[in-house]
Amino acid sequence: MSALVLMICAYAAIVISTVVLAFRTVKIAQMPVHLRWELAPVPHEKGKSAYGGSYLEEYEWWTRDHESSIMNEVIYMAKEIFLLKGVWENNRGLWPFTFLFHNGIYLLAAAAALVFVSAIMLISSSPLSPLDLTLDLATILLIAAYLLGTAGSFGLLIKRYMDPNLKPFNSTSTYLNLVLLVLVFGSGLYAFFSTSDYSLELGYFARSLITFSPQSYISVPMGTHILIVLIFLTYLPFTYMIHFVAKYFTYHEVRWNDRPQTEKMTRKLNDLLAQPVSWSAPHVKGDGKKNWVDMATEEMKDEKKPEN
């Protein structure tokens, strides 16, 4: 398989994925101020999260400094990211496949990082012992990632298709995403067992990307796997699978944002309240001229005044 074609595809996939992901991340960050939950406990609440307390219970809390614990927040995030704590608590039947799938992705990302480290070592003519150790570790992570990812993504595909409780939440894109992920992990698994020195060949391909010099040949199983991965990488930022970015804002700006309202936030809220309302629902009757403050304070025409 042509290494030059794969290199061109790789550069295109990286550029498209990076640009679109950055654009969508900025758009999410620029969204209007969210309605905060303000529900205790918040994980970073120091000394009170264990029993569901909040700094708001303190006498004249606005006169005191608000202390928070980054460690509590990190521990909560680690449980959610690596153990899928929320899925375990709310949909335990889905958890096994979700756990396998997500950890397969994490291991694949870690293995890819090691492959690029090995590529840098190849470029710098590193001694064989560190290089062999890096490649051996990458090999272990790759086989684990492919096994977990294949089992998890295929299990999720079957679970979503068979479970009547999940069918209302499925769509064509849901199945397409899972099928593509099955191909990513499955093709990697096939290439792993079909290539004599899999991790080293990947290292040489990564070196060619860094040095802009294509290697002479890539095996068909390896090339097929790389091409499928590049297709997925290009497709990813256009889908809801970028929830790994959106979740940061959901947690830190909505669920966990318990900071007192500042002048900056007040200005943002006032600007939002000053926006015209064009919602034509009968109970709103927005004409595009009145703003949200007008709508909230005016007396509805069909509202009956209390009799004296």
Residue type, 298: E
* Domain-located, residue 39: no
Q: CA 186 to CA 234: how far, in whole Å?
A: 18
> Are 151 and 89 in the same domain?
yes
E strands, 129-281, in order = none
* Domain-located, residue 55: no
Query: Tokens 């309605």 correspond to what residue?
Result: 35
CATH number of the structural domain spanning residue 190:
1.20.950.20
What percent of the chain is modeled with pLDDT above 90? 43
Model pLDDT for residues 11-38, shown as the tens digit of each residue = 999 999 999 999 999 999 988 888 777 7
> Are 251 and 283 in the same domain?
no
Where would I find the H helices in 3-69? 3-29
Average pLDDT over every residue of 56-74: 84
Picking from 241, 137, 111, 247, the residue whose alpha carbon sits closest to that of residue 181 is 241
Q: Check: CB of residue 217 under 8 Å from CB of residue 1.
A: yes
Question: What predicted TM-score, i.e. pTM, was given to this entire model?
Answer: 0.83
Determine the angle formed by the axes of helices 128-162 and 172-194, rounding to 10 degrees.
Answer: 140
* Domain-located, residue 43: no
Q: CA 39 to CA 36: how far, in whole Å?
A: 9
> Are 135 and 269 in the same domain?
no
Q: CA 149 to CA 189: how far, in whole Å?
A: 10
Model pLDDT for residues 213-264, shown as the tens digit of each residue = 877 678 899 999 999 999 999 999 999 899 889 888 888 888 888 888 888 8
Residue 155 has pLDDT above 60, yes or no: yes
> Are 236 and 157 in the same domain?
yes
Name the domain count of the chain. Answer: 2
> Are 139 and 244 in the same domain?
yes
> Are 224 and 96 in the same domain?
yes
> Are 273 and 232 in the same domain?
no
* Domain-located, residue 49: no
Residue 301 has pLDDT above 60, yes or no: no
Average pLDDT, the chain: 87
| Greatest extent of the chain over all pairs of C-alpha atoms, in Å | 94
Better-scored residue on pLDDT, 243 or 287: 243
Query: How sure is the predictor about 265, in pLDDT bands with cuts at 50, 70 and 90?
Result: confident
Where would I find the H helices in 163-219? 172-194, 198-211
Tell me which DSSP letter residue 44 carries. Answer: T
* Domain-located, residue 146: yes
Query: Tokens 């067992």 correspond to what residue?
Result: 193
Q: What is the pLDDT of residue 253?
A: 84
Q: What is the pLDDT of residue 214?
A: 77
What percent of the chain is modeled with pLDDT above 70? 96
Q: What is the pLDDT of residue 282?
A: 75
Model pLDDT for residues 160-217, shown as the tens digit of each residue = 999 998 888 888 999 999 999 999 999 999 999 998 888 888 888 999 999 988 776 7
Range of the domain at 143: 3-32+83-255
> Are 12 and 143 in the same domain?
yes
Q: What is the pLDDT of residue 307?
A: 59
Neighbours of 111 (CB within 10 A): 22
* Domain-located, residue 62: no
